[in-house]
Amino acid sequence: MNIYKQLNLLTEYIEKHIDDDLHPEILTKFLHTNLYTAGKIFSVFSGQSFSEYVRKRRLSLAGQDLYANNPRVVDIAIKYGYDNATAFSRAFEKFHGIKPSQVNKTTKLSNYPRLIFDDTPRQEKTLNYEIITLPDFTLFGIGVDTGNDSISKDAPQLFRRMINEYEPIYGPVKYGAVLYDSGRQQSKRYYCLWEQEISGFTRINIPKSRWLKFDVGSREAAKIQALSLQFYSEFLPSSKYILRELPELERYHDKTTDFLVPIE
């Protein structure tokens, strides 16, 4: 038996039945052993119990449901297996840091992604984020053609060149922007951008939108790229958010970076 394949089939099943009754007994179906042993296997590979994992996934999705649809709290509580709204509210606040009634269009939420197991199994970390709305604004800068295989080198190279050539004149670079092809499968161009109008620089118009905002905690290219990878490989496949066909932004300020992804 390929344990990684079976664990992935298990977490896939959980995703499909997340609002159904999910009991630890289903571990035996996928791991082909008794409940005690199956529970041990799951906890060793995931670093948590089956019930804890299901709880985190349900609370992650509950936050997205409340944001997207504004349903009654009691309906979401019932959907995700809580006996009453009070118990759900306590669990929700402990996980997200806010009450369900406080969820709105500029809410800070947390997400725990679906576990994906490979030959180097790991426990995925909770990724905190904020939903913000920004008005339309315009940026000015210089870009470089790039692609998924080369952006990790192209972006830092352009950024360093902009610092050397233009920061003494126009001040620090304020934003980075990644433009994608239709469908967001391939990055096409990376820009370094300023907020003031600069003659001869490309104008990038950003329409009013909602954004997922992640605090990178650093301005280092490697850490920005690591968070971007975590977003696309772990966060997005486990979320219900729909991306807009707008540039992905990096806002540089106060020795940190806001990683901004546009959503419907």
Please write the tens of the pLDDT for every residue from 69-79: 878 999 999 99
Q: Per CATH, which fold does 133-263 belong to?
A: Multidrug-efflux Transporter 1 Regulator Bmrr; Chain A (3.20.80)
Q: What are phi and psi of 143, to 5 degrees?
A: -125, 170
Rounded CA separation 80/139 (Å): 43
User: CB-based burial of residue 198 (10 Å sphere; 0-12 exposed, 13-18 middle, 19+ buried)?
Assistant: middle
> Do 177 and 193 touch, CB atoms closer than 8 A?
yes
The domain limits of the chain are 3-100, 133-263
Residue type (1 letter), 201: F
pLDDT tens for residues 218-259? 999 999 999 998 888 778 877 888 888 899 999 999 999 999
Q: 3-class DSSP state for residue 83?
A: coil
pLDDT at position 183, please? 61
The position carrying tokens 């940190």 is 256
Both tokens assigned to 112: 């725990």
**CATH number corresponding to 3-100:** 1.10.10.60
- Does the pLDDT value for residue 171 go beyond 90? yes
**What is the four-CA torsion angle of 16, 235, 146, 182, rounded to 10 degrees?**
40
pLDDT at position 176, please? 97
Rounded CA separation 90/96 (Å): 10
